[in-house]
Each structure stands twice: as C-alpha cells, then as structure tokens.
Amino acid sequence: MPKKFRFQILAAVLFTFLFQAFIIPGFAQTPSQGAKQEAKPNAPKVFMKSSLDSAALRKDIAYVQYVEGEAEAQILVEITSQKTDHGEEFTIALTGRREFSGVDNLLRYTADPSQKPEDVQKGLINVLKMGLLRYVSKTPVADRVNIAFLDQVKPTSVIDQWDFWVFSFNVDTFIEAEASYKMQELDGSFSANRVTPEWKIRFSLSASHYKNCYSYSDSDGNSYSYESVSDSRYLNGLVVKSLDDHWSIGTTLAASSSTYTNIDLKMSLAPAIEYDLFPYSESTKKQLRFMYYLGLDSMKYRLETIYDKMKEILVKEGLSVTLELKQPWGTISSTLAGSHYFSDLKFNRIDLSTEISFRIIKGLNLNVYGSGSRIHDQLYLQKGELTKEEVLLQRRQLETTFNYYFSIGLSYTFGSTSSNVVNPRFGSSSTIRVTS
Amino acid sequence: MKITQSRFALLILAFFLFVGSAFSQSAQADIETLKKSAPKVFIDCGWCDIEYIKTEITFVNYVRDRKEAEVHILITTQATGSGGVEYTLAFSGQNGFSDLDDTLKYFSKTTDTDDETRKGLVKTIKMGLMAYVAKTPIASRIAVSYTEEQGLQAVADKWKSWVFSLSANGYFYGEKSYRYQSITGNFSANRVTPDIKIKLGLSANYYYSRYDYSGEIIDNDRESYSFSGLVVKSLDEHWSVGGFLNASSSTYSNIQLNVSPAPAVEFDVFPYSQSTRRQLRFLYWAAFSMTRYRQETIYFKTQENLLKESLAISLTVKEKWGSISAQLTGSHYFHDFSKNYLDLNATIQFNILKGLNASVYAGGSRIHDQLALVKGDLTLEDVILQRRQLETSYSYYLMFGLSYTFGSIYTNVVNPRFGSSTGSSGIIIIN
C-alpha cells in the first residue's frame, strides 16, 4: 500500500475515533426517554359535575384520579339529563384541559322508564368508562386497562346488498433497462371472491407476458444479443364448504399454460377434504391441517416430452399436513406434502417446507427456513438439448430428482431497551453512494 | 396486595355478570342488530396481521374501502433508537363521526416476537376505537376492566441508549444442475436519542453459484465487505449536521478498498416531529473518496483519491388518500465535472375513487461516474450471471398498476379452511 494512501486511511479512522471518544460523551447526558414512572400518579385527573355516587365511581373507574377542584383537573365531566317520551336521556360532556385541551367528546345514554335507578347508574358509568379511555390511552395507566366484548357475534351480521361477493381487476406493467439489458413485463388479472364462515368461493384469471434482452459488444466489434420471452396464463377456482369446526370439503378447478414448464394447456379438477386438529376458530394462533385430494389432470404439451408424449390424461392423489403456530415464544409454519400418479407409482414427489422464528432467550433470536423436495414426476420436460442461455437465465425447467434450500439466521441484540426515541434525521441508512 | 387484587377482580367480574344479566333479556336477543349499527372501520396498514385483528376485535365492522368507513385507521411506522418499532395509529372519524380524530402510539421492542407485537397493536386499536364505539348502541356490550398497579418501577438505562446487535445468516439452494449459496454476517452498534444519532455497522457477504451445463461447470463467486458509520447532531426542528464514514471492498465493483469520510448537513421543510406522516429533506454531503482498485480501470488507474459532493432531496407523504415517496439524488466529482450522476425514483400509491387504486413505481439514472470499471472484455457468463458491473450511461425502470374492486364492502370474515384466505386459490402444487 502506498504510504500516502495509508496515512489518509489512518487519519480518517483516527478522526472518527476521536469524534466518538470525546465529542459523543458530551451528549450522553441527555435524560433517557420513555422511562415510565409509577402509573397511578400519571392517571388523568378528573373533575366530576354529576349526581353519580362517587364511591361507585371510584370503585368502577379506577384508572383515573378524582380531584376536588376544577382548577387542577385535566378532564371535566358534566352529566345532564332530560326527560323524554322514551325515558330519561343523559348527556355526558367530556372536556379536555391542559395537555388534553381541545380533546372533547359528547356521549349520550338513554335510560328506559322501567330501569331501576342503580341500573341507570351502572349504564351511565359504563358509557363514561369508554369516554375516559380516550384520555387514559395517552398515559402509562393504559397498559393495565383491558377491553373485552361480552358477546359472540357472527361476522356476517351486516346489511350487504352484494351478499359478500367482491370483484377485482388488476393490470400491472413493468419496464427496466440499461445500456446492455432490457426487460418488460405485463400482467393482468381478474378475481371474484365470496368468503363467509360457511362457504369460501375464490375464482381468478391471470395472464402474464415477460420479455428480456441482453446485448453487448467487445472491443473487436463482435456483438452478441439474446432475447427471451416467457408467457403464462392461469385460471384458478376453489369452492370450500364448512362442515363443522374441524372438517371441510371442497374442490379446486384449474387451467394453466406456461412456457417454463413446456405446458400448452393443463386442466385439472381435484376434489379434496380437510381436517384441522384444532378448531378453525383458533386459526390465527394454531392450525394442524390434514388435506387429501384426488386429482384428474389433462395435459397438452408444447413440445414432445422426454416420455414421447404430446398429450395425456393422468389421475393422481395427494396428502398434505400443515402446522402453523404463532405463540408468544415465536412462530412455526411447516408443510409436508406428497403425491403420486396412478399410471405409474414411481412418478411421485415429496415436499417438506418449514419456517421457524424462535426466541431462545431475551435478545437472542433464531430464524430458520428451508425446503426439500424429492421429485420424480416431471412428466412435462421437453425432449432435446437446451441452449446455454435457456439454462443460465432459467427460461426452462431443468431435469432434476431433488431440490432444496435452507437458510439459517441468528441474531443477538443487547444494550438499552427502554429507548422509544424516533430520530428521523439523515434518513434510516448510514451509507452514502461512493461508487456506481 | 395479592388478596386485594383478586378481590378487586372478583368485584369487577361480579359487576359485569350483573350488567350482563340485566341486559341479557333484551340485548342478547338483538346483539345481531347491535352489530349492524357498529362503527365501520378501515384499517390502512399493509403489513399488519389483519386476520388476527379481525378475530380479536369483533365489536366493529371492517370494510375494504376507505370511503365506506366511519373510522379510518392509518398506521405508520418508524424505527426507534433501541431497534424496536414505533407504530403511530391515526384514527380519523368520517361519515357521521367527522371531527372525532385521535392519534395513539404503540412501541414494540426489538426482542418482541410477532405474537407479542400483534397483541400490543390490537390493544392499542381497541383503546382508540372506544371513542367511536361509545357513540353506538353496541357500547352496552363492552366491558372495561383495570388491574391495579403492581408497584413496578422502571429501571434506569445503564446502557445509556446504546444498542448492539450481532447477526449471521446462511442461505443454501440446490438441485441437480444448479447450486447457490450465500453467507452474510453483520454487527451494529447504535445510539439514538432526540439530540444525537450514532449508527455503526460492519457487514460481510459471500455468494457462490454453480451451473452444470451438460458437463461444463460454470461457477461464480462474489464477496463484499463494508463498514458504515453515521453521526448526526440535532440543531433544531428543521436542521441537523453530522457526517458519514464508509469503507468497502467488493469484487463486483472492482474495488479493493474504498474509504470515504463525508461531512453532511440536512434541512427538513416540515418539522422532524411530523416525520412519520410527511418529510421533505435536503441532505448535502461532500466526500473525500480514497480508492484502490482490484484491476486496472478503463481510465488506467489502480488507485485514486477524489473529492465529490452530493445533494439528495427526499419527499415522503402518507395520507388517507395514499402515499408518495420520491428521491432525487445528484453528485459529481470535483476533478472532472463530467463525471457525474443523477437519479430520480418515486413510488406513488393513490386511491382515485371508491374501489379504484393506482400505483406507480419508477426510477431513472444518468450515470457518468463509473470510474471503477475493469479494462478489457467480459465473457458471456460475466454478463448474464452479473459477475461484473457493466458499462452503461443510463438505467431506468417503470411499473404502473391499476386495480378496481367492487362488490361487498364488508371484510369481517376470516375463513382459514383450505389455507389462508389471503393467499391464492392454488392449493395443489403445480409442478
């Protein structure tokens, strides 16, 4: 390394070191943010102007402080009432003061003439409870407040003129280029879905066109260019009927065409049945689903296959097991699937894929994902040699008996955890563009 | 303490049982009617666990279009100093709840798992919804309880806001005639306070791929190492000063070692405190770039020390109608002004009218500063396997997407049968 250059690096490193060692500690005295003090003194101060029993209030709404004077209050609550034909109508006026100034709300509660006075009081307190949460939510007291809904209600209890049908159209284009490379993509899709707890109906149509082109020339004037095109079209349909909290039956219907897999037209129909060991209602926390299907595939190939076929009709069956857990310690998502054709049992495949995110101890996280497949059912491979470009640019699926991928990541974080500071200055990246 | 607490909980329970039974004759029967008049909510959050939110909060109705909603919840995020995430939940009332707006914040820690984060977010959403729910009849079926203080005191931060993180990742892919591997390692030390931001990072990457083309083996590897350092001092709500120190080495870019210290200054047109919703930042830096090349460059250099300057303008806006994010960057070397670079990129998402959404994602660069290009010819494999950077004077990309959705506005239902309801319908593996 030349002496001059080495000196400059040394100087730069020294500069940073000095900067950190002497200048930064000067700033280190800033009080730490987000440190929470004891919560109750932080609870909002409320001044009540009402005839409500104050002992009942203190007991039922314990997440605020009640003050005697209006002057020190952060929230003023005034309850007034008016007799109407339907009973007594109460108006609860909440007015924010000091840091809550401008945060006001007007709530109403109507008491039935047949209600006992203590029930009216409880009803009023319940409305007030909710009204006060708006202020409480901005204080540390909020951490100990719990909100629950007392009923089970069907998600379909709404007035819906479309009867839960949703339709969607999509178009996307993508173009990318530089001097020796160009790429274009065009995608379109349509979908119609109806999802209710009893039925799930999904239907979609999509088409995509992809073209790319490489060109360059060397110093001798020899130029080279390569262009490739990929087309695919899909139709997918799914109908599922819920039987009970563990069982479902349904069918898929699919049609597709793809240059990558040498398929001119593939149509398939596959009735299926599924069992979830856990109730479906717990699906966002845990699922262990077993699915069996019996499928009929009708294939038409673009080019003759390695088995000398231009078209064929095949029957296959498949079983898959899926485990999904999302728990406080982490997340697991894993699927094992196997299938075979009936025409020749040696045409089969097994796939296993797993994703795990696990907190070993506080600060130490393990992320693993991976998949492995044993593949003996590439009936669609085209006969003959592929070009070097088709291979290197992954334009055609290659013959293989296996594929796998595996990723593992470990991260350990330590140090301050109480800093909730957001500092957007200079953006989120700490690098500058020094070379192209 | 324990006894009073459990007694308190019992009292609460007794109270709700009582309230419940008082309402049960009339309310239980028409809970379905109450649900019909519950607030209509639109959750504007691309990465939230929406299915979980819908299964945990069932006392409102969810709609798929913001214009149908009575409550629009816009959730934006920013990284916090300790490596966690600050979630800003902007509740805005409309269609009958107009003028009832609120903003709440939720902080997740870097050590929190997905489940802990989604639980905390659900709690914050519930809290914010109360102001709207309280105005509808379904309010009578909500129970609010409170657990008394345990007397826990927050501990002083002995780390003085410093956060350290170590991580290593490996990725391996294989099939009969193709193999791919990548290994990366990172270390970072950050200290973020409102007054100063220090970010130091070290990373190493290695990548290998191998093709077997009818017996001919074509393989390829790339490696890169980098150090990045940033120190920013806050001056006021609009101005900041600081500096970058970057060092890197890369086979792809033909760089043996580059070291670049760069003092910098930034101005934000909007106050930094609004950064989660809007930013318009002008960042200027001047760098002294010292480089040693791996192979002689097209300009016959094996090493050089150059001075350059750069200006970057970044705009970020996130509103109910959509979002805009755009960046314009320009730089040039002082020894030769023709060695310059200009780049513009933008992402726009826009809800044009009910059901109709457009997105544009575009960028273009004018590149006249590829000082590191290797002299001599490249092979076919160098080009298509992207082993080496190629000479170009421009690059651009453009994506345009349009989607139109109509039909039912409600999205209350979560139906996990035959796989996730958000996924595609292709449940059977197409080979």
**Dihedral sign for Cα atoms in the order A127, A132, A138, A143:** negative
pLDDT-derived band at A38, boundaries 50, 70, 90: very low
Tell me if A250 and B194 make a contact (CB, 8 A cut-off): no
**What is the rounded CA–CA span in Å between residue A256 and residue A218?**
41
* Phi and psi at residue A179, to the nearest 5°: -55, -40
Give Cα separations from B67 to B38, B42, B125 (angstroms).
16, 9, 20
- Give the model's pLDDT for residue A18: 44
Average model confidence (pLDDT) for chain A? 84
User: Which of B25, B417, B421, B431 best probes binding to A when mutated, by most A CB atoms within 10 angstroms?
Assistant: B417
The answer to whether residues A258 and A373 belong to one domain is: yes
Residue of A129, A86, A92, A131 whose CA lies nearest to A111? A86
The more confident residue out of B42 and A88 is: B42
The more confident residue out of A116 and A204 is: A204
∠ CA A189-A194-A196 to the nearest 5 degrees?
150
The answer to whether residues A249 and A361 belong to one domain is: yes
Asked if residue B190 belongs to a domain, the reply is no
Asked if residue A158 belongs to a domain, the reply is no
A134 at B interface, C-beta within 8 A? yes
Asked if residue A154 belongs to a domain, the reply is no
Indicate whether B22 pLDDT > 70: no
The answer to whether residues A103 and A195 belong to one domain is: no
Q: Which of A242, A401, A419 sits opposite B192 (nearest CB)?
A: A419
Asked if residue B226 belongs to a domain, the reply is no
A415 at B interface, C-beta within 8 A? yes
What CATH code is carried by the domain that includes residue B391? 2.40.160
Q: Which of B49, B161, B196 sits opposite A416 (nearest CB)?
A: B161
The answer to whether residues A125 and A263 belong to one domain is: no
The pLDDT tens digits for A226-276 are: 888 888 899 999 999 999 999 999 999 999 998 888 999 999 999 999 999
The pLDDT tens digits for B132-151 are: 999 998 988 898 888 876 65
Q: What residue type is assigned to position B146 of the chain?
A: Y
> How many angstroms separate the CA of residue B224 from the nearest CA in chain A?
13
What CATH code is carried by the domain that includes residue A404? 2.40.160
HEC profile of B197-250: EEEEEEEEEEEEEEEEECCEEEEEEEEEEEEEEEEEEECCCCEEEEEEEEEEEE
Q: What percent of chain B has pLDDT above 70?
A: 88
The answer to whether residues A80 and A225 belong to one domain is: no
Please enumerate in sequence order all residues whose Cβ is within 8 A of that of A385, keeping only pairs 6 or more positions apart, or say none.
B214
The residue out of B113, B140, B167 marking a domain boundary is B140
Asked if residue A1 belongs to a domain, the reply is no
Do residues A48 and A66 touch, judged by C-beta distance below 8 A? Answer: yes
The answer to whether residues A134 and A278 belong to one domain is: no
The pLDDT tens digits for B366-382 are: 999 888 888 877 777 77
Residue B73 three-state SS? strand
**What is the rounded CA–CA span in Å between residue A75 and residue A138?**
13
Asked if residue A234 belongs to a domain, the reply is yes
Tokens of B56: 């945990």
Please enumerate in sequence order all residues whose Cβ is within 8 A of that of B298, keeping only pairs 6 or more positions apart, or say none.
B373, B374, B375, B391
Tell me if B148 and A127 make a contact (CB, 8 A cut-off): no
Please enumerate in sequence order all residues whose Cβ is within 8 A of that of B257, keeping only pairs 6 or more positions apart, or say none.
A9, B247, B248, B249, B291, B292
Tell me if A107 and B135 make a contact (CB, 8 A cut-off): yes
HEC profile of chain A: CCHHHHHHHHHHHHHHHHHHHHHHHHHCCCCCCCCCCCCHHHCCEEEEECCCCHHHHHHHCCCCEECCCCCCCCEEEEEEEEEECCEEEEEEEEEECHHHCCCCEEEEEEECCCCCHHHHHHHHHHHHHHHHHHHHCCCHHHHHEEEEECCCCCCCCCCCCCCCEEEEEEEEEEEEEECCEEEEEEEEEEEEEEECCCEEEEEEEEEEEEEEEEEEECCCCCEEEEEEEEEEEEEEEEEEEECCCCEEEEEEEEEEEECCCCEEEEEEEEEEEEEECCCHHHCCCEEEEEEEEEEEEEEEECCCECCCCCEEEEEEEEEEEEEEEEECCEEEEEEEEEEEECCCCCCEEEEEEEEEEEEEECCEEEEEEEEEEEECCCCCCECCCCCHHHHHCCCCCCCCCEEEEEEEEEEEEEECCCCCCCCCCCCCCCCCCCCC
> How many angstroms separate the CA of residue B288 from the nearest CA in chain A?
10
Do residues B315 and B307 touch, judged by C-beta distance below 8 A? Answer: no
- B 59-98 → A contacts, CB under 8 A: 59, 61, 64, 78-84, 86
Asked if residue B120 belongs to a domain, the reply is yes
Residue B262 three-state SS? strand
Tell me if A254 and B15 make a contact (CB, 8 A cut-off): no
Nearest residue in B to A390, CA atom: B213
- Give the model's pLDDT for residue A356: 94
What CATH code is carried by the domain that includes residue B83? 3.30.160
Asked if residue B285 belongs to a domain, the reply is yes
Tokens of B286: 């001047």
* Phi and psi at residue B213, to the nearest 5°: -110, 100
The answer to whether residues B392 and B271 belong to one domain is: yes
- Give the model's pLDDT for residue B358: 93
Tell me if B412 and A380 make a contact (CB, 8 A cut-off): no
> How many angstroms separate the CA of residue A72 from the nearest CA in chain B?
23
The answer to whether residues A254 and A325 belong to one domain is: yes
The answer to whether residues A389 and A345 belong to one domain is: yes
Indicate whether A324 pLDDT > 80: yes
The answer to whether residues B275 and B391 belong to one domain is: yes
| Unique residue bearing structure tokens 């047949």 | A114
Indicate whether A144 pLDDT > 60: yes
Residue B395 three-state SS? strand
Residue B4 three-state SS? helix
The answer to whether residues B385 and B254 belong to one domain is: yes
**What is the rounded CA–CA span in Å between residue B298 and residue B316?**
39
- Give the model's pLDDT for residue A95: 93
**What is the rounded CA–CA span in Å between residue A318 and residue A295?**
8
pLDDT-derived band at B8, boundaries 50, 70, 90: low
Domains: count for chain B? 2
User: Which of A235, A334, A422 best probes binding to B when mutated, by most B CB atoms within 10 angstroms?
Assistant: A422
- In sequence order, the β-bridge partners of residue B138 are none
Parent domain of A55: 43-144
The more confident residue out of B69 and A155 is: B69
Please enumerate in sequence order all residues whose Cβ is within 8 A of that of A232, keeping only pairs 6 or more positions apart, or say none.
A207, A208, A256, A257, A258, A259, A260
**What is the rounded CA–CA span in Å between residue B57 and residue B91?**
16
**Quick check: pTM over 0.80?**
no
Domains: count for chain A? 2
| Unique residue bearing structure tokens 């349009």 | B402
The answer to whether residues B395 and B271 belong to one domain is: yes
pLDDT-derived band at A12, boundaries 50, 70, 90: low
Asked if residue A429 belongs to a domain, the reply is no
Asked if residue B24 belongs to a domain, the reply is no
What CATH code is carried by the domain that includes residue A69? 3.30.160
- Give the model's pLDDT for residue B153: 54
- A 152-171 → B contacts, CB under 8 A: 152-160, 162-171
The answer to whether residues A278 and A371 belong to one domain is: yes
Give Cα separations from B4 to A136, A144, A299, B150 (angstroms).
23, 16, 72, 11
Between helix B114-133 and helix A117-136 the angle, nearest 10°, is 130
Chain A, chain B: beta-carbon pairs less than 8 Å apart: 571
The more confident residue out of B84 and B262 is: B262
Asked if residue B28 belongs to a domain, the reply is no
The answer to whether residues A329 and A396 belong to one domain is: yes
- Give the model's pLDDT for residue B124: 95
> How many angstroms separate the CA of residue B192 from the nearest CA in chain A?
7
> How many angstroms separate the CA of residue A71 from the nearest CA in chain B?
25
Nearest residue in A to B363, CA atom: A176
Asked if residue B244 belongs to a domain, the reply is yes
**What is the rounded CA–CA span in Å between residue B105 and residue A142?**
11
The answer to whether residues B249 and B109 belong to one domain is: no
Tell me if A127 and B389 make a contact (CB, 8 A cut-off): no
**Residues of B with Cβ-Cβ distance to A363 under 8 angstroms:** 111
A368 at B interface, C-beta within 8 A? no
What H or E segment, with its residue span, contains residue B36?
helix B31-36
**Edge-to-edge strand order for the sheet containing B71-79?**
B61-62, B40-44, B71-79, B85-93, B101-108
> How many angstroms separate the CA of residue B42 from the nearest CA in chain A?
15
- Give the model's pLDDT for residue B27: 45
**What is the rounded CA–CA span in Å between residue A306 and residue A386?**
13
B371 at A interface, C-beta within 8 A? yes
Q: Which of B115, B146, B396 sits opposite A63 (nearest CB)?
A: B146
Nearest residue in A to B88, CA atom: A422
- A 67-86 → B contacts, CB under 8 A: none
Parent domain of B395: 235-404
The pLDDT tens digits for A181-196 are: 889 999 999 999 998 9
* B240 Cα distance to chain centroid: 23
The answer to whether residues A236 and A299 belong to one domain is: yes
Q: Which of B242, B331, B392 sits opposite A178 (nearest CB)?
A: B392
Indicate whether B295 pLDDT > 70: yes
CA gyration radius for chain A?
A: 33
How many other C-beta atoms lie within 10 A of the C-beta of residue A435? 17
The answer to whether residues B240 and B130 belong to one domain is: no
> How many angstroms separate the CA of residue B120 from the nearest CA in chain A?
9
The pLDDT tens digits for A344-386 are: 999 999 999 999 999 888 889 899 999 999 999 999 888 888 8
Burial of B215 (0-12, 13-18, 19+ CB in 10 A): exposed
Q: Which of B82, B226, B290 sits opposite A8 (nearest CB)?
A: B290
- Give the model's pLDDT for residue A7: 55
ipTM over 0.90: no
Q: Which of A40, A127, A194 sits opposite B149 (nearest CB)?
A: A40
The answer to whether residues B132 and B240 belong to one domain is: no
Asked if residue B337 belongs to a domain, the reply is yes
- Give the model's pLDDT for residue A369: 92
The answer to whether residues A345 and A229 belong to one domain is: yes
Nearest residue in A to B55, CA atom: A284
- In sequence order, the β-bridge partners of residue B80 are none
Tell me if B115 and A327 make a contact (CB, 8 A cut-off): yes
pLDDT-derived band at A99, boundaries 50, 70, 90: confident
